[in-house]
Structure 1
Amino acid sequence: MNQSALETKLDDVAKAVGSVLDDVLGSHQLVAGTPHRLLNAMRHGVLNGGKRLRPFLVVEAAKLFGADARSALQIGAALECIHSYSLIHDDLPAMDDDDLRRGQPTVHKAYDEATAILAGDALLTLGFGMVGAMESLAPQIRVKLVAMLAKRAGAPGMVGGQMLDVATPTHRQSELEITRMQAMKTGALIAFACEAGAVVADAPDEDRKRLRRFGEICGLAFQLADDLLDETGDATSLGKATGKDQARGKQTLSALHGRDWAVQRLDALVGEAEEVLAPYGDKAATLLEAMRFVAWRQR
């Protein structure tokens, strides 16, 4: 599969996820009971484009085991709510203090800080509600997904990683310390996305573990590529500010070891991902192409 074919698939899933989220945020139950300003801020934070990589990974991982595509898409949309909440909060002045996200003003800039905090809170709870309400999945599958998501999005996962990020010590961190922080902050939700596809399909534990490992590798590559883009990219093509890590003294693996090391490490991670998914043969071709896209992307 060439990159243009993959980007077409990514775009198709992104549009489908956007449609699901638009329907949910336009539902009578939500519209009737939600303050107008809060609902608009939620829409601003989650319906603002983006590659929708995490939902794409859920859909493709589920497809690997013949699961219902519609159920996987719904889980992906719920995950995107939680991912978007994390971005809204991450952009706040107390966190990364960003003015631009996906080429648009961040939620606290478009509205205000209090509204941004509450919009993030609302999207977080909405995501869990969407998983719990999915009647197309057996109750035990829904419970399993909710428990997994709580762990990956919470203190042992993404939120814990954010805490390590904002509390970065002034001393030079080791590769292990940086990797742990990034695996929690960025990798946890990507690992969930891949494992969730197997769970939706009620795949055996061995397959779940294999997909989780693939997601962990993909998460490491995503963050390392992101760090490189922060150093070398431009705000117009990325849709967000660049050069932030260096300006704030943040420690990254690319800064620790240099650009050449980072490029070689990305190639090695792609090789690891290929080994993990080798048992699935050609059926895993799209997932592997997504991994290469993550590692070698230019925006």
Structure 2
Amino acid sequence: MGTKMDFHTFLTEQVAVLDQKLPDLITSLDSPKILEEAMVYSLNAGGKRVRPVLLLSVLKGAGFPLEYGYNTACALEMIHTYSLIHDDLPAMDNDDLRRGKPTNHKVFGEDMAILAGDGLLTESFSLITRDEHLTTDQRIKLITSISRAAGPEGMVAGQVADMQSEGKQLTPEGLEAIHHRKTGDLLSVSLYAGGIIAGFHNDALIQLSKIGKHIGLAFQIKDDLLDIEGTEEEIGKPVGSDIANNKNTYPLLLGVKGAKEKLDFHLNAAHENLETLQHFDGALLDGLISYIGERKG
């Protein structure tokens, strides 16, 4: 019980820090005011900040100063936010609500929403290149791994496959392959990035990636279940939108019971892999894994 309480305290504290840092990083830029407003609007839309908190949990578990990770943590959240802005566009998922608020293009128009996403994506990498806490080697490793996870081999590839699969019946293995890329890669690289900053050796970095893959799939399965079992107030968008959009989901392919069994499998695998990580206090990360399985929105 103490571990979970420690994690929730850490989560609350770090979300408050990130909620302040993210808009400040954008408003300090010499950018058109309307563009800044559009970027900040989506950054302030009440995200759970799971990706940056994953990174910060690794630093905390390694006994490493959190200050070294805040810029990269914010960069990860900027990339995630850009992907949501673009996902919501009429040409993609055509969503009117995101986290209970009108989507970016509903407030600022499609043109500005596209540019806000572009701005967040490119600024994320600029933020890492300017981070004086990091060595040049660390910056290169971070940019290489994050760009691969977010780009045409990772998240973007997953989004393409997700769109192309609409209206088609996938196998559970096919769906898992999509979500490894669409959701899993960016969650996984959040842990990996924390390991790079904390100076982990290659074996530990690989282990962090494995944990991240399981967390990513668990996160997506939980999202699919919430689309059926959650409420609009909890998940911030209409319940059942996946079904309405003919999306392949874990409950659709495996049934609700099968999806919950798959969720438990990946949560347990993440916990077990974490236990094998040496010279690391995994209490916070363990709490975050449990939180992903228990969250309501």
Report the equivalent of 2:179. Answer: 182
Q: Which amino acid aligns with 1:153?
A: A
1:240 aligns with one of 218, 228, 237: 237
User: Is the Cα–Cα contact under 8 Å of residues 61 and 211 in structure 1 kept in the other structure?
Assistant: no
User: Is the Cα–Cα contact under 8 Å of residues 98 and 241 in structure 1 kept in the other structure?
Assistant: no
Report the equivalent of 1:89. Answer: 86
Mapped partners of 2:239, 2:8: distance in 1: 23
Report the equivalent of 1:23. Answer: 24
CA deviation map 1:118-171 (0-9, x unaligned): 000000001011111101100000000000011000011001100011111543
Mapped partners of 1:239, 1:7: distance in 2: 21
Report the equivalent of 1:12. Answer: 13
Is 1:168 equivalent to 2:165 in the alignment? Answer: yes
User: Is the Cα–Cα contact under 8 Å of residues 55 and 191 in structure 2 kept in the other structure?
Assistant: yes
TM-score, normalised with respect to structure 2: 0.95
Mapped partners of 2:295, 2:151: distance in 1: 28
Structure number with the bigger relative contact order (C-alpha 8 A, sep ≥ 6) is: 2
Report the equivalent of 1:292. Answer: 290
The within-5 A match list for 1:213-252 is: 213-252=210-249
Q: Provide structure 1 residue ranges, at least 5 long, that are not aligned to the other structure.
A: none
Mapped partners of 1:42, 1:83: distance in 2: 12
User: Is the Cα–Cα contact under 8 Å of residues 188 and 212 in structure 2 kept in the other structure?
Assistant: yes
User: Is the Cα–Cα contact under 8 Å of residues 227 and 240 in structure 2 kept in the other structure?
Assistant: yes
Aligned-pair distance for 1:279? 2.6
TM-score, normalised with respect to structure 1: 0.95
The within-5 A match list for 1:1-299 is: 1=2, 3-27=4-28, 30=29, 33-168=30-165, 170-280=167-277, 283-299=281-297
User: Is the Cα–Cα contact under 8 Å of residues 53 and 73 in structure 2 kept in the other structure?
Assistant: yes
Q: Percent identity?
A: 37
12-21 or 132-141: bigger deviation: 12-21
CA RMSD of aligned residues (A): 1.4
Q: Provide structure 2 residue ranges, at least 5 long, that are not aligned to the other structure.
A: none
18-27 or 214-223: bigger deviation: 18-27
Aligned length: 295
